[in-house]
Chain A
Amino acid sequence: MEEKILELLTEEYPDVDFTSSNALVDDGILDSLTITGIIATLTMEFGITIPYEEIIEENFNSIAGLAKMVTKLQSKEG
């Protein structure tokens, strides 16, 4: 899952190094527009709905956090 998400996001945002930090939001690497793009990519690609409770720094700070969130939401919706 992590690899797939990394591949998808790197394709969308070639200028962002998603592996450079484990605090992508806290370090200011991801702004709100990029986060929106990530939400759009993940919801369209995996067919999930991301509830507002999940839009927290912890889930968006790293690829591992995103993968964990997507897996959790897939199992919930599946």
Chain B
Amino acid sequence: MSLTSIYFFLFMTALIIIYFIVPKKVRWIVLLVGSCYFYLAGGLDIFCIACATVAITYFAAIWMEKASQDIKKKRLLLSAAVVLLLGFLTLTKVSSHYGWQYRWLVVPLGISYYTFSLIGYLADVYWKKEKAETNYLKLLLFTLYFPKIIQGPISKHKSIAGQLLEGHEFDYDNLCAGVQLAMWGYFKKLVIADRAAIFVDTVFGGLDNYLESGAILTMAVILSTVQLYCDFSGYMDIVIGISQILGIQLENNFKRPFFSKSAAEFWRRWHITLGAWFKDYVYMPIVISPRLIKFSTWVRNHFGKRTGKAMMNVIPLAVVWLLTGLWHGTGKNYVLWGIYWGAIIITTTVFAPEIKKFNKFLHINTEASSWQLFQMVRTTAIFCVGRLITAPGSLRNSWKILLGMTHSFRLWELFDGTIYTLGLAEIDMKLLVLSIGILWIVGIQQEKSSIRERISGWNALARWSFYAVAFVSIFMLGIYGTGYDASSFAYERY
């Protein structure tokens, strides 16, 4: 069931009404039934796989808690459960990469997201940062909660489970704020992402026709970046908004990443919950592992204090970025993408003092707004290069685009009407540029203060008039596929 379909609107409306009508005690059951119904729309087989995954996690967590002081037993239980969960995830990823097809092998929706959430929960129980859930159905709700099941956020059990089980009161302010955010998400998805996708698909789909058009290829790479951001962050705004109507606060996954001044900052503002997951369950455990500490101490004794300390960052970061690449896909392009980001972040982390000295040597005022603007443009360019590695589908295509961009640029093709022949008519292209402009201006305002709070300060007439105009605009200007079902979300396949 797509979040942009009429069925979803009907489903959501019914669920919200029922949720607030039934007694508080049983509201979590409404969420559970609704989430199971939502997930079952994807098929009974994937629902059964998800239930089995939750069962493995449920029993492993309870047995680990019972094992208490028996570290060996606890470790064995954790390892077995993680191997089972990750093993199935890896199998589905590898099989879809190589095109293996078996009747018994189906890829459950959102498998990467819920597998990571459940592994995080198991690790927290193992480290005694969390109590094991004793009610299977409650753990099932945490896993299948419909707004987050398909594309995340990768929620922590302790930050969301309590909210799901608590019966929330209807709150008018939550309704307004939730509707606002969801509409902003639909604007990003239907008006910007799906419009940009038409241009990007036309160029990347018929790549051989545009190899002499560097400017068009560059524009396609930039628009594919805009498309990805608006698609993914738009989805997040929709699901966070829907949850807010129900009184449930999901974690934020995006914080205007293109305003970041460095690659490291970018990844603290883009897909935040994935970064947090890797930090908590991969990076930190490696950092504190006795083997790494022993190795870093040896390096320090032989090569100096700074090199020893650098090892504590370099090795965990290298592992994290390789895994982040593999999480996105098992193809060579994703491995290279992980190495690319890892290399940038490791280099800038290790050589931070030299970079600082170099800036001082060049008399760069790092507080000047012009320098900060340059840093933001640089970060965006770094991301676009990363997109060039993955978006065209293969390294061969990426290489072709790179050659095309550098050999014959043909800047005039951006102004002589050629771009209006690539799937988007002139009016659509102008609308796309205008919408990206709105996105950018809103981003600047959000960096200063919350726009949502400002809108909530308007009187009711002004506020609801604004909602009505925004709704009609999104409805009129959105891009819809066959049967008014917009194209699916990009991150659904993970």
Binding site for B on A (CB under 8 A): 31-33, 36-37, 39-41, 43-44, 49-53, 55-56
Q: A32-B279, A37-B309 are in contact. List 15 more A-B contacts (CB 8 A).
A: A31-B268, A36-B284, A36-B312, A36-B316, A37-B313, A40-B309, A40-B312, A41-B309, A49-B288, A51-B288, A52-B284, A53-B127, A55-B284, A55-B288, A56-B129
Q: Is B296 an interface residue, CB under 8 A from the partner? A: yes
Binary contact readout B220-241 vs A (1 if CB under 8 angstroms, 0 otherwise): 0000000000000000000000
- Does A44 lie within 8 Å of B285, measured CB to CB? no
- CB of B51 within 8 Å of the partner chain: no
Number of contacting residues on B, CB 8 A?
A: 22
A36 to B308, CA, bound (A): 12
Q: Which of B272-314 contact A (CB under 8 A)?
A: 279, 283-285, 287-288, 290, 293, 296-297, 300, 308-309, 312-313
B128: CB under 8 A from chain A? yes
Contacts of A37 in B (CB 8 A): 309, 312-313
In the bound assembly, the distance between CA atoms of A73 and B379 in angstroms comes to 41
B290 lies within 8 A of A49 (CB)? yes
Main SS of chain A's interface residues? helix
Residues of A within 8 A of B268 (CB): 31
Residues of B within 8 A of A31 (CB): 268
B residues adjacent to A (C-beta < 8 A) = 127-129, 264, 268, 279, 283-285, 287-288, 290, 293, 296-297, 300, 308-309, 312-313, 316, 349
Q: Which of B127, B300, B316 has the most CB of A within 10 A?
A: B127
* B312–A52 touching, CB < 8 Å: no
Q: Would you mind naming 17 contact pairs between A and B with Cβ atoms under 8 Å apart?
A: A31-B268, A32-B279, A33-B313, A33-B349, A36-B284, A36-B313, A37-B312, A39-B288, A40-B287, A40-B308, A40-B312, A41-B309, A44-B300, A52-B127, A52-B284, A53-B129, A55-B284
The 4 closest A-B pairs by CB, nearest first: A40-B312, A40-B309, A36-B287, A52-B127
Residue from B279, B287, B309 whose CB has the most chain A CB atoms within 10 Å: B287
Q: How far is B127's CA from A53's CA once the two chains are assembled, in angstroms?
A: 6
In the complex, what distance in Å separates the CA atom of A55 from the CA atom of B264?
Answer: 21
Cross-chain contact B296 with A50 (CB below 8 angstroms): no
Main secondary structure of the interface of B (DSSP, over half): helix
CB-nearest residue of chain B to A49:
B290
| Chain A, residue nearest B281 (CB) | A52
Residue among A36, A41, A50, A53 with max Cβ neighbours from chain B (10 Å): A36
Alpha-carbon gap, A40 to B297, bound state (A): 9
Beta-carbon contact of B293 and A33 below 8 Å: no
* Complex alpha-carbon distance, A28 and B128, angstroms: 25
CA–CA, A33 and B349, complex, Å = 8
Chain A residue with minimal CB distance to B312?
Answer: A40
Q: Which residue of B lies closest to A43 (CB)?
A: B293
A51 and B279 CA atoms in complex are apart in Å by 15
* Residues of chain A contacted by B312 (CB below 8 angstroms): 36-37, 39-40
Q: Which residue of chain A has its CB nearest to the CB of B316?
A: A36
- Nearest chain B CB to A34 CB, angstrom units: 10
Beta-carbon nearest neighbor of B290 in chain A? A49
Residue of B nearest to A51 (CB): B288
**Residues in B whose Cβ lies below 8 Å from that of A50:** 288
Provide the residues of chain A in CB contact with B296, threshold 8 Å: 40, 44
Q: How far is the CA of A50 from the CA of B287 in the complex (A)?
A: 10
Within the complex, what minimum Cβ distance (angstroms) separates B291 from chain A?
A: 11
Contacting pair A53 B128 (CB below 8 A):
yes
Closest to B306 in A: A12
Bound Cα distance A31, B129 (Å): 21
In the bound complex, residues from chain B placing their C-beta under 8 Å from that of A52 are: 127, 284-285, 288
Interchain nearest-CB distance for A55 vs B (Å): 6
Give the docked Cα–Cα distance between A39 and B279 (Å): 14
CA distance A39 to B288 in the complex (A): 8
The CA-CA distance from A43 to B127 in the complex, in Å, is 20
Q: Which residues of the partner chain B approach A55 to less than 8 Å between Cβ atoms?
A: 284, 288
**Which residues of the partner chain A approach B316 to less than 8 Å between Cβ atoms?**
36
**Chain A residues near B297 (CB-CB < 8 A):** 44
Once bound together, how far apart are the Cα atoms of A53 and B74, in whole Å?
15
* Chain A residues within 8 Å of B313, by CB: 33, 36-37
Are the CB atoms of B287 and A39 closer together than 8 Å? Answer: yes
The docked-state distance in angstroms from the alpha carbon of A56 to that of B313 is 19
**Distance in Å from the Cβ of A70 to the closest Cβ of chain B?**
14
Residues of A within 8 A of B308 (CB): 40, 44
A49 and B287 contacting across the interface, CB-CB below 8 Å? no
Considering the complex, give the chain A residue whose CB is closest to the CB of B283: A32
In the complex, which of the residues B128, B285, B288, B300 has the most CB atoms of chain A within 10 Å of its own CB atom? B288
Q: Which residues of A contact B293 (CB under 8 A)?
A: 40, 43-44, 49
